[in-house]
Amino acid sequence: MTKKERYAFVIDWFKKNMPDAATELHYRNPYELLVAVILSAQCTDKRVNIVTPSLFEKFPTPQLLAKAEFEDVEPLVRSISFANNKTRHLIGMAKMLVEQFDGEVPSEMDDLVQLPGVGRKTANVIVSVVFNQPGMAVDTHVFRVSARIGLTTNAKTPLQSEQQLVANIPPDLLPIAHHWLILHGRYTCIARRPKCEQCGLQSVCKFFKTDMKHIAG
C-alpha cells in the first residue's frame, strides 16, 4: 500500500465515523479556549473542564486576568498539573494580550507563540479551532497514532510529525483531522494497550500488522 492510498483510506474512514469530531475542552470564546489549552498541557481535558468554570467566573476577560496576582489564580488551578508554572503563564499571557494585542487572541502563529505558555502545539490548536486555518497540533496522541498507523515515517519530533501530516492531508481537512487523531488516540489507539479489535483501521495500520500481531502471538 502506498502512502497516498493509506492516507486516502484513513481520511475516508474518519469522515464516515467521526464526521463531527471537535475539541472536548469547554469554552465560549477564543480567550477561554486559549486558557483551557494552556492548562491542558500534560493534563486531561476532563480535569481542565472541572477547573475552568470557576476560573472563568472570576476572570472572564484577559483584562481582569492581567491584573491578577499569583495568589488569586493558583488556588483555582491547583489540581492541574504544573499549577505554579501555568498560573504564571496565564497571567503573563493575559498581560501580553492586553498590552500588545488589544485584548484579542491573535490569529497568526508567529504572534501566538510569543505568548507565555503557548508553544507550537497550542498555537496550532487556536489557529485551527478558532480561526479554521490549516493547522495540525501534534500532541502525544497525534504523534503516537500517526506513527502507529503509518501516516508518519521516522518522525522523531512533533514538528517532523506535523510537517508530514500537513504535507499529506488536504488543507481544508487539517482542522478536523487534528481532532480525529486525538480522539482516536484517547479512546481507541491508547498508549499501553491499543484496542485494535475495535478499530476500523486494522487493514491499513502498520502497528496492527507488525507489533500488535507479535504481542498477540
Residue from 3, 15, 121, 211 carrying the catalytic annotation: 121
* Length in residues, the chain: 217
Residue from 139, 156, 195, 213 carrying the catalytic annotation: 139
- The Cα–Cα gap between 159 and 109 comes to 14
Active site residue 121: yes
Please say whether the dihedral angle defined by the alpha carbons of residues 151, 157, 158 and 164, taken in this order, is positive or negative.
Answer: negative
**Cβ-defined contacts of 122-130 (< 8 Å, 24+):** 122/34, 122/37, 122/38, 122/41, 124/162, 124/178, 125/23, 125/33, 125/37, 125/178, 126/30, 126/33, 126/34, 126/37, 128/174, 128/175, 128/178, 129/22, 129/23, 129/33, 129/175, 130/30, 130/33, 130/105
Q: How many CA atoms lie within 13 A of 122 on its CB side?
A: 26
Q: Which residues are catalytic?
A: 121, 139
